[in-house]
């Protein structure tokens, strides 16, 4: 890392191979940069240029690119720890560190021409994968219309993938696809005004009939079902091609939750250690009353989350080792349920810790107040909605179908 004046992005020495210690150190720096600007980002409802450029300078977007595009060949555990480390300082930054690295994975399944166009320019890639728009055939390509919300970090991205359903030239019926569009061709709709994760700048986008050539269409339901990229020309030994797509793609949502939950437990411990209860004659909160029991429950919940994360990553590693690129409905639903259980654990830790710490922790901008809001917000993400996940997983145990996406 080179010295950088206050307010400017942090610079790092550019590397061509992955080193765990180096990237965990970079994660700490990214987290600290984000923590310094957390209140401003929350107020502005957007991520700062400084944080985005620091993430780029740290080569976070290279973590899961194919090697031919400068990918660094990271590993599942270290990647998870990178996201968790950043999120422990600031969940917004953990979220964006995750998104600005994982979106390259679906691009890696595109046609060789599409991969070249999106991955060779060094621009950040966003996405909203929900198929909520309208797609019309136009010559050799397509035009897409509608509004996609929740486009995290979109103001700082060069490309965005938008989900839609369309008839492909070689298909028998309309199918789910991802259409890659330059952000410059989209209208950004300033509608991100939420309870938490406000600094992610997850605004809406409208492509207003933008034209998408065939090579920028990922036939997602087809390639994720088969586990193989479009058009060949890929290195089957690279890790992103040796696991089922969706369980890997959604894995680090839980790392963001776990990092935030860890921070909440730490805040509770530090504050309770020095807290006195004025209504009980100045007694120590750490050695009297209910706080020791709360501390124990929080620690147990955090340990449970860590165990679930270990189970999740162990399953991914098993698939990776065995080159298993597809999964059964029950296997897929189990991963959905593990994510749901972890997200619920993070919300439980946040609410119990913030309630037990009392009113002094609730002022706007206090870390407890901000992490509580962020943990509650991430708990509402579709990739791990608790009731949905449990219902789907339980159904697959009895032979039912997995969720069509998650």
pLDDT tens, position by position, 360-387: 899 999 999 999 999 999 999 999 999 9
| Beta strand pairing call for 283-284 and 159-166 | unpaired
pTM comes to 0.95
Q: What is the mean pLDDT of residues 113-134?
A: 96
Q: Where are the alpha helices (DSSP H) in 230-290?
A: 245-249, 253-273
pLDDT above 70: residue 264: yes
Percent of the chain at pLDDT above 90? 91
CATH number of 245-397: 1.20.140.10
pLDDT at 204: 98
The rounded distance, in Å, linking the Cα atoms of 265 and 260 is 9
Q: Where, residue-wise, is CATH 2.40.110.10 in the chain?
A: 123-226
Average pLDDT over all residues of the chain: 95
The first and second tokens of residue 18, run together, are 């992955």
**Sign for the pseudo-dihedral over CA of 8, 13, 15, 21:** negative
Confidence of residue 232 (pLDDT cuts 50, 70, 90): confident
pLDDT above 90: residue 5: no
pLDDT above 50: residue 391: yes
pLDDT at 4: 47
pLDDT at 280: 76
pLDDT above 80: residue 281: no
Picking from 323, 130, 333, the residue whose alpha carbon sits closest to that of residue 240 is 323
pLDDT at 286: 82
C-alpha neighbours within 13 Å on the C-beta side of residue 288: 11
CATH number of 20-107: 1.10.540.10
Picking from 39, 58, 37, 60, the residue whose alpha carbon sits closest to that of residue 48 is 37
pLDDT above 60: residue 306: yes
Q: What is the mean pLDDT of residues 262-288?
A: 87
Lowest mean pLDDT among 10-14, 17-21, 87-91, 284-288: 284-288
Q: Where, residue-wise, is CATH 1.10.540.10 in the chain?
A: 20-107
The rounded distance, in Å, linking the Cα atoms of 338 and 331 is 11
The first and second tokens of residue 86, run together, are 């950043």
- Domain 123-226, what fold? Butyryl-CoA Dehydrogenase, subunit A; domain 2 (2.40.110)
Q: Where, residue-wise, is CATH 1.20.140.10 in the chain?
A: 245-397
């Amino acid at each position: 890392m080179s010295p950088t004046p206050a307010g400017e992005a942090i610079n790092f020495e550019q590397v061509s191979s992955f080193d765990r210690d180096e990237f965990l150190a970079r994660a700490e720096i990214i987290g600290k940069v984000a923590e310094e600007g957390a209140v401003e980002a929350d107020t502005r409802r957007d991520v700062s240029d400084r944080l985005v450029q620091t993430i780029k300078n740290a080569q976070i977007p290279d973590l899961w690119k194919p090697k031919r595009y400068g990918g660094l060949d990271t590993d599942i555990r270290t990647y998870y720890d990178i996201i968790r480390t950043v999120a422990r300082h600031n969940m917004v930054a953990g979220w964006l560190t995750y998104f600005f690295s994982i979106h390259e994975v679906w691009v890696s399944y595109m046609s060789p021409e599409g991969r070249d166009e999106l991955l060779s320019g060094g621009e950040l890639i966003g996405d909203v994968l929900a198929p909520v728009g309208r797609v019309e055939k136009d010559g050799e390509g397509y035009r897409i219309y509608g509004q996609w919300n929740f486009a995290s970090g979109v103001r700082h991205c060069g490309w965005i993938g938008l989900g839609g359903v369309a008839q492909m030239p070689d298909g028998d019926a309309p199918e789910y696809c991802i259409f890659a569009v330059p952000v410059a061709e989209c209208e950004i709709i300033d509608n991100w005004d939420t309870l938490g994760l406000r600094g992610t700048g997850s605004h809406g986008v409208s492509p207003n009939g933008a034209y998408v050539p065939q090579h920028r269409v990922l036939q997602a339901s087809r390639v994720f079902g088969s586990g193989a990229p479009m058009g060949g020309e890929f290195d089957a030994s690279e890790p992103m091609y040796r696991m089922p797509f969706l369980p890997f793609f959604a894995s680090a949502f839980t790392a963001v939750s776990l990092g935030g939950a860890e921070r909440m437990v730490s805040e509770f411990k530090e504050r309770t250690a020095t807290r006195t209860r004025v209504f009980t004659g100045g007694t120590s909160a750490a050695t009297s009353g209910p706080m020791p029991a709360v501390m124990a429950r929080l620690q147990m919940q955090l340990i449970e989350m860590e165990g679930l994360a270990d189970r999740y990553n162990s399953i991914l590693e098993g698939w990776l080792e065995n080159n298993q690129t597809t999964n059964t409905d029950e296997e897929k639903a189990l991963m959905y349920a593990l994510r749901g259980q972890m997200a619920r654990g993070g919300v439980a830790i946040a609410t119990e810790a913030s309630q037990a710490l009392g009113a002094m922790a609730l002022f706007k901008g206090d870390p407890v107040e901000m992490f509580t809001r962020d943990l509650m917000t991430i708990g509402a993400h579709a990739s791990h909605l608790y009731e949905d996940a449990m219902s789907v997983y339980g159904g697959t145990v009895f032979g039912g179908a997995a969720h069509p996406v998650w």
